[in-house]
């Protein structure tokens, strides 16, 4: 069976496929792919068994990463929580993944990585993929009424804190203005520093805003003129995706974060959406797992897969700990610069 390569940024059939395919997400969209390309230099490519000039019935999209620091690899997709194979049969998946792996080997890539929500070990073994890392994916069913949803949330960790935000008279703003972007990025600097990490480049968020348009919202809670918590969400088809969140730890007791999540859920219900995708969490991040559990979200195991199959890591994490201590003490301007330098090599 012939496998064809297409450029999803120039082939109009790609956007048509992402709109109609039931497993497509915002991470497949041309807006997300264009932002990846311009922000980090990753070149997108999609593989399909649909011949040229025919309807695009299936495809798997990747990004080529060329890094002098971390090497070459083919990833589906960098900085995306998950990315389904838009293929409806195991035989087509096998053909497409085999061709992608062949091309990657020929081009000197270290590995091929895929991040599907649904992917069987049997299929993976046929094309030499092994599980790379497991995560947890949380999703909220937006089918119930707002009253029923609110009652299902944790009484102390969500309901009480939303009411605390109301009592504190926190203000709420949403949109894509540069003012909101700057407030969001300021909170992101605080949050990433708390976790001993640099922030993603602000141009990444600006490009997402440009290419995703009104699908993207920055949602911010303010105490007076001071931003205390923010999230960035993206709407796609019937799903609202939570992608980034940040807050000022000095105001964590005001309920700002639960407030903006609740506002996002209310907006999603008003728009007729059926799912709130809270994204992936590391298995060892107990705090984040508990936070998402408090919203009565359903847990799903999310596994990343690589070819060749990865070996268990044998190195120490002393380097990460040392870098973390440096980032913890780095001034804001240099911390933001570190993000611009490092993130193109991470994806």
Residues 111 and 83 in one domain: yes
Length of the chain: 347
**Is 96 in the same domain as 145?**
no
Classify residue 328: in a domain, yes or no: no
Residue 151 lies in a domain: yes
Domain boundary among 78, 109, 128: 128
Same domain, 292 and 147: yes
Tokens of 315: 């190195």
User: Is 324 among the domain residues?
Assistant: no
Of 75, 107, 128, the position where a domain reaches its end is 128
120 & 142 share domain = no
| Same structural domain, 289 and 153 | yes
Structural domain boundaries enclosing 172 = 138-302
Considering the domain architecture, whether residues 142 and 121 belong to the same structural domain is answered as: no
Structurally, the chain folds into a number of domains equal to 2
Instruction: Determine, yes or no, domain membership for 205.
Output: yes
Would you call 169 helix, strand, or coil by DSSP?
Answer: coil
How far is 202 from 335, CA to CA, in rounded Å? 12
Give CA 106 to chain center in angstroms. Answer: 29
In this structure, are 229 and 282 located in the same domain?
yes
Task: Give yes or no: residues 106 and 238 share one domain.
Answer: no
Radius of gyration over every alpha carbon of the chain, rounded to an integer in angstroms: 21
- Is the domain of 115 the same as that of 67? yes
CATH of the domain at 232: 3.40.630.30
Cis preceding linkage at 259, omega within 30 = no
143 shares its domain with 286: yes
Report if pTM > 0.85.
yes
DSSP 78: T
Domain end position, chosen among 128, 147, 176: 128
Q: Over the range 328-337, which residues count as b (16 or more CB within 10 Å of their CB) and which as e? A: eebeeeebbe
If asked whether residues 206 and 248 sit together in one domain, one would say yes
Q: Is residue 61 situated within a structural domain?
A: yes
For residues 180 and 109, membership in a common domain is answered with no
Query: What is the SS3 assignment for 51?
Result: coil
Residue 218 lies in a domain: yes
Residue 274, helix vs strand vs coil: coil
* Residue 331 covered by a domain: no
Taking alpha carbons only, the member of 206, 275, 213 closest to residue 240 is 275
Q: Kindly give the confidence (pLDDT) of every residue in the chain, 347 residues in length, as a single tens digit, with 9 standing for 90 and above.
A: 899 999 999 999 999 999 999 999 999 999 999 999 999 999 999 999 999 999 999 999 999 999 999 999 999 999 999 999 999 888 999 999 999 999 999 999 999 999 999 886 666 667 889 998 899 999 999 999 999 999 999 999 999 999 999 999 999 999 999 999 999 999 999 999 998 899 999 999 999 999 999 999 999 999 999 999 999 999 999 999 999 999 999 999 999 999 999 999 999 999 999 999 999 999 999 999 999 999 999 999 999 999 998 876 544 454 455 456 566 667 888 888 999 999 999 88
Identify the CA nearest to 63 among candidates 19, 104, 94: 104
Distance CA 337, CA 328 (A): 14
Do the domain assignments include residue 84?
A: yes
What pLDDT was estimated at residue 122? 64
């Amino acid at each position: 069976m012939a496998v064809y390569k297409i450029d999803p940024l120039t082939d109009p059939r790609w956007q048509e496929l992402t709109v109609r395919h039931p497993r497509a997400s915002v991470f497949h969209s041309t807006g997300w792919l264009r932002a990846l390309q311009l922000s980090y230099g990753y070149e997108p490519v999609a593989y399909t068994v649909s011949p040229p000039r025919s309807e695009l019935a299936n495809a798997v999209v990747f990004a080529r990463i060329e890094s002098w620091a971390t090497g070459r690899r083919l990833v589906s997709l960098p900085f995306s929580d998950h990315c389904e194979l838009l293929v409806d049969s195991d035989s087509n998946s096998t053909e497409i993944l085999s061709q992608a792996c062949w091309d990657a080997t020929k081009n000197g890539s270290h590995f091929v990585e895929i991040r599907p929500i649904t992917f069987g070990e049997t299929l993976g073994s046929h094309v030499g993929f092994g599980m790379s890392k497991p995560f947890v994916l949380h999703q909220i069913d937006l089918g119930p009424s707002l009253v029923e949803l609110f009652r299902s949330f944790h009484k102390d960790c969500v309901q009480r804190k939303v009411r605390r935000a109301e009592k504190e008279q926190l203000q709420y703003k949403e949109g894509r203005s540069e003012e909101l972007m700057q407030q969001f990025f300021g909170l992101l600097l605080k949050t990433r520093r708390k976790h001993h990490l640099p922030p993603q480049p602000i141009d990444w968020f600006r490009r997402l805003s440009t290419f995703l348009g009104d699908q993207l919202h920055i949602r911010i809670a303010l105490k007076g003129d001071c931003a205390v918590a923010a999230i960035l969400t993206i709407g796609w088809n019937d799903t609202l995706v939570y992608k980034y969140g940040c807050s000022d730890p000095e105001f964590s007791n005001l309920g700002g974060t639960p407030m903006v999540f609740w506002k996002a859920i209310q907006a999603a219900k008003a728009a007729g959406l059926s799912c709130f995708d809270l994204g992936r969490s590391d298995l060892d991040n107990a705090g984040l797992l508990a936070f998402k559990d408090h919203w009565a979200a359903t847990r799903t195991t999310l596994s990343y897969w690589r070819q060749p199959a990865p070996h268990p890591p044998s190195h120490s994490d002393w380097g990460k700990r040392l870098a973390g201590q440096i980032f913890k003490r780095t001034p804001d301007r240099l911390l933001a610069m570190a993000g611009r330098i490092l993130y193109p090599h991470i994806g």
